[in-house]
Structure 1
Amino acid sequence: MVGLAGISMLAAVPAMAQGIGHSLFMRGSIVDTGSNGTVVCIGKADGAEVGQKLEVYRVVTHPGPPKGVAPTYHRQLVGHVTIDHIFDDHFAHVSVADGTPAKHDIVELRKN
């Protein structure tokens, strides 16, 4: 019985990894700014809707002092995008409303 449970868990790892990758590493980022427009990793599973306006942030690094202390970071607002089309549970096409959004910037829906 224990062996069967272990095999079942190993078989589920690729499916879980896809969800973890979207949830922890990509969700909320601009993944493409190519000739087909800007694509963000926010979709139906995140509650995205056409017409929503998202804030765009860039991570700014401040080097630490020379004695090996880790650098510090902050998020800088660089613009806004509007969702034009939702592809699926994970991705949407957006248009730039203002500012200078770039690939790898963070997009976030402000909920009031």
Structure 2
Amino acid sequence: MIKKSLMAALAGISMLAAVPAMAQGIGHSFFMRGSIVGADAQGTIVCIGKSDGAEVGQTLEVYRVVTHPGPSKGAGPTYHRQLVGHVTVDHIYDDHFAHVAVKDGTPAKHDIVELRRSN
């Protein structure tokens, strides 16, 4: 029974790998979305686009994942998010990517960007 389940799971994974367009959507949705993915001559590129509701002029908060050295004390995580700055969307490339200008702080590649929520 376990062998059948394992074979079915491997077949499903193989099917996803065979469809690049679908795989790109999965990568954006689960792995990259909300990340600073790099920089070009004009500035910083983030993985947030039209499909995420991005609009020119929005301010995004930038967080860095900070790890705590040493053994974990209990079941809690050994990391936290630290606010490191803000960026403003100044150009949206497509459904998945936008260009931002650094408003303040020290954003870097792999940091997490989130839309500031007003409560």
Which TM-score applies when normalising by structure 2?
A: 0.77
In angstroms, what is the RMSD of aligned CA positions? 2.5
Question: Where has structure 1 moved over 6 Å in runs of 4 or more?
Answer: none
Q: Say yes or no: does 1:109 pair with 2:115.
A: yes
Where do 1:29-48 residues align within 5 Å? 29-48=35-54
Q: Which residue of 2 aligns with 1:72?
A: 78
Letter in 2 for 1:10: M
| 8 A contact 1:55–1:108 mirrored in 2 | yes
Q: Say yes or no: does 1:87 pair with 2:93.
A: yes
1:22, 1:48 → 2: CA distance?
A: 14
Letter in 2 for 1:104: H
Where does structure 1 lack aligned partners over 5 or more consecutive residues?
A: 1-5
Letter in 2 for 1:62: H
Residue 35 of structure 1 deviates from its aligned partner by 2.6
| 8 A contact 1:33–1:39 mirrored in 2 | yes
Size of the alignment, in residue pairs?
104
Determine helix, strand or coil for the equivalent of 1:33.
strand
Listed one character per residue, the Cα deviations across residues 17-58 of structure 1 (whole Å, up to 9, x for unaligned) are: 111100111100001134331000000000000000000000
- Within the candidate set 54, 57, 63, 2:63 is matched to 57
Residue 71 of structure 1 deviates from its aligned partner by 6.3
Q: Quick one: percent identity of the two aligned structures?
A: 79
Determine helix, strand or coil for the equivalent of 1:38.
strand
